[in-house]
Amino acid sequence: MVIVEGILIFAEPALRERFDVKVFVDTPPDIRLLRRVRRDMERRGRQFEDIRRQYLKTVRPMHEAFVEPSRRYADVIIPEGGNNRVAVEMVVERLRKALR
């Protein structure tokens, strides 16, 4: 069993075929943006205007072109950015069964 994390993991067909279960963790756009702004300012010392410019020029278009369309290949979509207890418990139980 292999667990892989990545926002573009489903974009490549040959890679998708290698997984038994594909999970897409869906986080609302406003939460994703707020996390990015906070991270870039606190950890990378970037200014808001630079973050905004990059987001509009590359981050949002790439998300719309590659990440968002890849959700259709998921076997399970976990809403609320992984804060959905029932969905997470289902995935955990599947992993437990696979490890037995």
List the chain domain ranges.
13-99
The torsion region of residue 84 among left (phi > 0), alpha (psi -120 to 50) and beta comes to beta
pLDDT over threshold 60, residue 1: no
DSSP 8-state assignment for residue 14 = H
pTM of the shown model:
0.81
- Superfamily name with CATH number, domain 13-99: P-loop containing nucleotide triphosphate hydrolases (3.40.50.300)
pLDDT over threshold 80, residue 3: no
What is the mean predicted confidence (pLDDT) over 75-99? 90
The torsion region of residue 20 among left (phi > 0), alpha (psi -120 to 50) and beta comes to alpha
More confident residue, 82 or 76: 76
Would you say 6 and 60 are in contact if contact means Cβ atoms under 8 Å apart?
no
d(CA 3, CA 37): 28
pLDDT over threshold 70, residue 93: yes
Query: Each residue of 24-81: pLDDT tens digit?
Result: 999 999 999 999 999 999 999 999 999 999 999 999 999 999 999 999 999 989 998 8
- Give, in order, the Cα–Cα distances in Å from 9 to each of 17, 96, 99: 11, 23, 23
pLDDT in the model for residue 95: 87
pLDDT over threshold 90, residue 100: no
Amino acid at 22: K
